[in-house]
Amino acid sequence: MKKNISYYHKIIDQFSKTKILVIGDLMVDRFIRGKVSRISPEAPVPVVKVKEKNDVPGGAGNVTKNLNSLGAKVECCGVIGIDPVGENLLNEFQRLQIGTKWIVKDPDRSTIVKSRVIAEHQQVVRFDDEDDSQLSLILQNEIQGSLKKIIKDMDGIILSDYGKGMITKAILKSTILQARHYKKPICVDPKIEHFLSYKNVTCITPNIQEALGGMHRLKLNSNGGLISLGEEILQKLKCHSVLITQGEEGMTLFEKNKFTHIPAKAQEVYDVTGAGDTVIAVLTLSLACNAPLIEAARLANLAAGIVIGKLGTATVTPDELKDALKLL
């Protein structure tokens, strides 16, 4: 870390005064846990005796929950179905005092559920119940109208795109225009299929595979491949910055005419699920508190190191961030 610890504490202490809007694909992560003691006589698969089931916000919902855990005031814009799963998700957000006014109920689709069957800490199978068709024009127009009302009052915007129909080209374009008009930082957790549409954003945060896929590359070049990839994205999308996450290798921040590699913080890795959600939450929240890009990225890297040491789609708190700063 280039700054002293008290500098980062000042940023973290501003989190609770900051308003962030999350726009994206809402879903529920369902965890079904149990034990395996035999193989099924019907097929060569394990029989899991279920001991516990629990649902948590997933996708854009996990980004929202990360921001809430960090103390931010959060508004969420997304789509759910008219079903018990969607109602439970709304109830959970309301319990956490997350704004749900801008969440739309679509009678033509069900709330997305990703179910993971886990036996003895090992994921046996995952099955997804989802409708990833594009939103109707009526819903798109309704959402765009809502965004025009709310963006001016936010301190930062996150686009959490999982390719499930919420982030259409029309919604993407109007959201970026509104954010730029009101001079609000807007960061994108991208989907490969939409990659070239994320133009003029503050920061895009792909992992290596997303960055390669988005630029139609199969692999990194042998010499300086990551650097040329990041610079190409920066130029192609005309964005202010690119933050490529690299798992245990850390992350690299690209800005005009410069790049900075931020090594991962060494610790045992338990589960990388949702680490990207934590990165974009801390990055955007720090930028909304007027932190310079590089310092926002360093805090995001630190937060990612905390959540990968937890099981499941985890979050991080301001106190955990401050404790981690002591170890640097």
HEC secondary structure over 112-137: EEEEEEEECCEEEEEEEECCCCCCCH
Per DSSP, what are the bridge partners of residue 24? 160
Cα–Cα–Cα angle for 74, 270, 299, nearest 5°? 45
Identity of the residue numbered 89: L
Q: Is 289 helix (H, G, I), strand (E, B) or coil?
A: coil
Nearest partner of 78 among 169, 139, 148, judged by Cα = 139
DSSP state at residue 44 = S
Give the Cα separation of 150 and 181 in Å (integer). 13
Q: Is 269 helix (H, G, I), strand (E, B) or coil?
A: coil
E strand or H helix that includes residue 228:
helix 225-237
Nearest partner of 14 among 256, 296, 236, 280, judged by Cα = 296
Task: Decide: residue 145, CB within 10 A, 0-12 exposed, 13-18 middle, 19+ buried.
Answer: exposed
Nearest partner of 114 among 96, 99, 129, 102, judged by Cα = 129
Q: Which of 106, 277, 319, 323 is catalytic?
A: 277
Instruction: Let me know: does 185 contact 297? Beta carbons within 8 Å.
Output: no
Which residues does 223 contact at the CB level (< 8 Å), separation at least 6?
none
Catalytic site residue 108? no
Q: How many CB atoms lie within 10 A of CB 312?
A: 15
> Active-site residues: which are they?
277
